[in-house]
Amino acid sequence: MSVLLAAGRGRRMGQPKALLRWQGRSFCEHLIRAHYEAGVTHVVVVTLPLVKEALAKEIECPVTWVQGLDQEEPIDSLLRAVAVLDNAPDAALLVGPVDQGPIPVSLLTTLCQQFPVDACRVRIPTYQTQQGHPVLIGAGFRPLLRKHEGGLRGLFQEHPQSIEYRDVKTRATLRNLNTPEQFEAFQRAAEPIHF
C-alpha cells in the first residue's frame, strides 16, 4: 500500500504541488501510476478537498482519498491515512510527499525488494549517502506511528534498530520541489524523472 502526502497548499510554489503538471499529467497522477506500476495494490492520497476535486476528474486509477487539513504536519496526514487503512493492519506502507514529483518506477521496486512486510522495520532510500523518500514502513512498525508525538524523523531516531537503508540509483529520491525555480530546474533537466 502507498500513502501520498499532498495536503499542502503550496504557498511558496504558488499553487498546490499535487496539481503541478509535467508531460500532460499532474504530479499526483504520475506518482499514483508509478506506485501501481511498481506493484502496489492500494494507493491513498491525503489532500485538501479542492485538490481532490480537481484530481478526481482526471485520475483513472483507483485511489482512496483522505481529507487532510491545511498546515498540518506530514505525520498528521500520515496518521489520517493509517486510520483509514486499519482494515489492512498487516500491510507495509510506502509513504512519500507529492512535492517529490514524478519518480522512476525502479526507485519503488528497488526499495520494496525483499522487504518483510510484517516486520517492525523501516527502509529509507539513500543516494550518495543522503537519505531520501519515499520511506517503506513495515506493518510491525505501524503501531509506533500512532503512539509517537512528533515527526517521522524523530520517530525513526527513537528506533534506530528498526531502520535500514537501501542505496538507490536515482537522485530523484532526494527531490523536493517547493518553489517555481525548483520546478523550472526540474523541467529543464536532461532527464527530469531522475533529476
Residues 104-142 have pLDDT tens digits of 999 999 999 999 999 999 999 999 999 999 999 999 999
pLDDT band per the 50, 70, 90 thresholds, residue 16 = very high
Total number of domains in the chain: 1
Torsion sign over Cα 92, 97, 98, 102: negative
Give the pairing of strands 64-67 and 43-47: parallel
pLDDT at 26 over 80: yes
pLDDT band per the 50, 70, 90 thresholds, residue 69 = confident
> By residue range, what is the domain housing residue 122?
2-194
Instruction: Locate the DSSP E strands across the chain.
Output: 2-6, 21-22, 25-26, 43-47, 64-67, 93-97, 122-127, 130-131, 135-137, 163-167
Percent of the chain with pLDDT over 70: 100
Torsion sign over Cα 154, 159, 162, 165: positive
Using DSSP's 3-state secondary structure scheme, residue 59 falls into coil
User: Which domain CATH number covers 79?
Assistant: 3.90.550.10
